[in-house]
């Protein structure tokens, strides 16, 4: 996880300074590779979490395709600068995004986070579920073939408790990652534990009780990546 965070941080200055046209060109190349690898993605989903073939090769992989085309369409006309009275509001990338995803609907959960992050100029450390990570490996091959800059989308697979701890406090990173958390109790629980121990409230002012024995997604606790 340390190496994944370091690689994403090294890639951030260049990617955050990329133009709209450069980001669109990359997303369109990803779209071509994604369409070419649809059969592989469907097979991976069936193998990793047991989805019926029709569902895996149909709605499961098509959702990811939909998130990608939406990111492209939004990016084409997104207003990165907005004049408001005498002020100019500029929306910029926030930094390295730590993305934790669960085992169910694995391609959907990854793509709905990764594609907007790339479109906004952020780099990513991705922690897919330890129980369903085959499709994430196929997606990593897609990103590589499409020419995503080294470190732009950096996978951080492994046991949930290790990944959650790494996202929570990346050593020598200089700052914490900006999280979009939607994971199982292993990575999510370790991500949120310091907040509970310190008595820090969650969104809404009150932290929900955490039950490690339940296989349930943790509450959403994140800072979204700003477009840039």
Could you tell me if residue 10 is inside a domain?
yes
* Block residue for tokens 């969104």: 203
Average per-residue pLDDT in the chain?
A: 77
| Reported pTM | 0.71
221: in domain: no
CATH code: domain of residue 160: 3.40.605.10
User: 182 in a domain, yes or no?
Assistant: yes
- Answer whether residue 215 is part of any domain: no
Q: How many domains does the chain have?
A: 1
Q: Which domain holds residue 117?
A: 2-197
Domain assignment present for residue 25? The answer is yes
Does some domain include residue 169? yes
pLDDT tens sequence across 92-127: 999 999 999 988 889 999 999 999 999 999 999 999
Residue 214 lies in a domain: no
Residues of the chain with pLDDT under 50: 160-161, 163-164, 166-176, 179-228
pLDDT tens digits for 71-84? Answer: 999 999 999 999 99
Is 44 a member of any domain?
Answer: yes
Greatest alpha-carbon span in the chain = 57
């Amino acid at each position: 996880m340390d190496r994944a965070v370091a690689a994403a941080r090294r890639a951030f200055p260049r990617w955050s300074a990329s133009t709209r046209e450069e980001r669109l060109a990359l997303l369109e190349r990803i779209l071509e590779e994604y369409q070419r690898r649809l059969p592989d993605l469907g097979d991976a989903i069936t193998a990793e979490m047991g989805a019926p073939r029709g569902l895996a090769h149909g709605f499961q992989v098509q959702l990811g395709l939909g998130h990608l085309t939406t990111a492209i369409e939004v990016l084409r006309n997104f207003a990165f600068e907005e004049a408001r009275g005498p002020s100019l509001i500029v929306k910029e990338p926030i930094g390295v995004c730590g993305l934790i995803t669960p085992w169910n609907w694995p391609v959907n959960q990854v793509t709905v986070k990764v594609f907007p992050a790339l479109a906004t100029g952020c780099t990513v450390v991705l922690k897919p579920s330890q129980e369903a990570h085959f499709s994430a490996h196929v997606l990593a091959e897609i990103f590589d073939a499409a020419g995503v800059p080294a470190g732009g989308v950096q996978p951080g697979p492994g046991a949930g408790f290790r990944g959650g701890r790494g996202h929570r406090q990346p050593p020598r990173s200089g700052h914490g990652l900006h999280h979009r958390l939607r994971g199982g109790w292993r990575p999510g629980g370790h991500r949120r534990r310091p907040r509970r121990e310190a008595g820090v409230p969650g969104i809404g002012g009150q932290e929900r009780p955490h039950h490690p024995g339940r296989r349930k997604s943790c509450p959403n606790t994140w800072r979204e990546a700003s477009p840039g």
